[in-house]
Amino acid sequence: MAHALTQRADGKTEFAFLGDRKNIWHGLGQELQEGQTVDQWKEAAGMDWEVFSSKVMYQAGLETKTMDDKKVLFRSDSQDAMSVVGADYKVVQPAQVLEFFNDLTQVHGMKLSAAGTIFGGRRFWATAEIGENFETVKGDKIGGQLLLATSIDGTLSTIAKVVATRTVCANTLSVAIGETTKNIVKVSHRSTWDANQVKLDLGLISEGWSTFAANMKKLAEIELTDNFVNNYFTSKMYDKNKTAEDQSWGTIKTVNSLMSLYKGGLGAEFAPNTAYNVLNAVTEFTDHYGIRKVDAGRKFVESSFGKGDDLKTSVLDDMLALAA
């Protein structure tokens, strides 16, 4: 499936969201209204199962043996195997991801906005609106969400971070606390999950959001020429070990696409010919088109935690350097 969302044998998609279905590009999952409990979210998002473990067993001739340093992780509902991991692998359960937001929604005013699983349940996540937003320029609104994601196949640490979403095009960008540090907390699966410690580590959300808002407004004031921007995209995307004539067609197409988004992407009219539009061209390309052709589930992971996220952060740093 192109969307990579987990679909159960009974046809249920393990995804739930707040808002209107027409705003969900794949149109799948359960639509929820405000005021639902965490338990209701678990059921609607299909995150009401548990991760069980068992020793790895194998047949050696007529003898059945076990591997004491490995274990199989499998779903409690379907008994489908998810992965083989080390014996010391610490699991974060699907329910724990949603329960992380329990007091944040009840006491701190956050609002769960989406939750679900991908790749058969090997990765799952939830997001909550932090209740903070601003306008970079009049009419261009940016809102913030707290994202918590993890895996049970060893491919992703448990990660909590603040993500800014531009309303007009749903472009996302990790919020920076300062000029170089991202508001992100990573917990290895070798460590025991401690939700309270993570919340303490994320205590700089307000400070980080204020800094981010100031930076976005600063970028909207930096005017650039088309020639400068084209040269910047070229230097950023071209293979530095090849001449301009030897660049792949895919790389050249990427630069052309970025220039097109810079001039006419969603919301480009709010701050034309500025460093802000350079950043938005990259975030729109990464989130909605991708660095490489991948399915939407992998694109979500890459854009939020992988090469896409790294590229967006690098471009943000470059554009802020122009204002220094």
For the stretch 157-194, pLDDT in tens is: 888 888 899 988 888 888 764 444 455 677 788 888 78
For the chain, residues with pLDDT lower than 70 are 1-3, 22-26, 107, 176-184, 200-206, 290-303, 305
Calculate the alpha carbon distances from 35 to 38, 105, 110, 181, 193 in Å.
9, 10, 11, 34, 27
Looking at the fold, whether 134 and 265 belong to one and the same domain comes out as: no
188: left (phi over 0), alpha (psi -120 to 50) or beta: beta
Looking at the fold, whether 228 and 179 belong to one and the same domain comes out as: no
Show the domain range for 75: 51-86
Q: Cβ(268)–Cβ(289) under 8 Å?
A: no
Q: Of 151, 181, 204, at which residue does a domain stop? A: 204
Counted domains in the chain: 3
Tokens of 321: 């350097």
Question: Is position 262 within any domain?
Answer: yes
Identify the helix (H) or strand (E) that includes residue 87.
none
Looking at the fold, whether 44 and 57 belong to one and the same domain comes out as: no
Calculate the alpha carbon distances from 275 to 50, 113, 248 in Å.
46, 30, 26
Quick one: pLDDT at residue 151? 93
Quick one: pLDDT at residue 152? 94
Question: Is position 274 within any domain?
Answer: yes
Calpha distance 248→267 (Å, rounded): 30
Question: Is position 5 within any domain?
Answer: no
What is the pTM (predicted TM-score) of this model? 0.82
